[in-house]
Amino acid sequence: MTDTLDYGSLMHRAMRGLIFNVLEQVRDHGLPGNHHFFITFDTMHPDVQLADWLKDRYPAEMTVVIQHWFDNLVVRDDGFSITLNFGDQPEPIHIPFDAIQTFVDPSVEFGLRFENQDMDELGEEAEADKTEPNADTTEITDAEPRREAEVVSLDQFRR
């Protein structure tokens, strides 16, 4: 037993569970209304399955859109498989939940971002040591400046 609770891992597991449930609903009932998803994932994850030409074109990460046309959506505990249309060329892909970096449904302004655990730990170690990260570390920057964490009440979403 550890001395602390790993809230980051628990939250990531809960967020991936949410994606699992959403994709199951879409598999069973289709996309309701204007809902559609932008899913960005790590193409270098060992369990990602992509056509070679897509891996060549997107060597680090890729964003797929699930909206107008998709087929063969299969949802498993570890990830999902789907056939998407890339320039009139249907391609099957498999995306493990662990490879997902962002999941966004712009129709309702909903989004999830999964921080890279290794980068988080590196940042904490660098802060603790008051040293700069190793030179071979890739710095991740966002287009928008990061805000401080904010506690949000979920009461408004309860029925």
63: pLDDT strictly greater than 60: yes
- 92-122 per-position pLDDT tens digit: 999 999 999 999 999 999 999 987 655 444 3
Q: Judge: domain 7-115, CATH 3.40.50.620.
A: no
Two structure tokens written together for 26: 């879409």
Assign 126 to helix, strand or coil.
Answer: helix
pLDDT, greater one: 123 or 156: 156
Domain boundary assignment for the chain: 7-115
Q: What is the pTM of this model?
A: 0.70
DSSP labels, 63-91: EEEESS-EEEEEE-SSEEEEEEESSS-EE
- Mean pLDDT (the chain) is 78
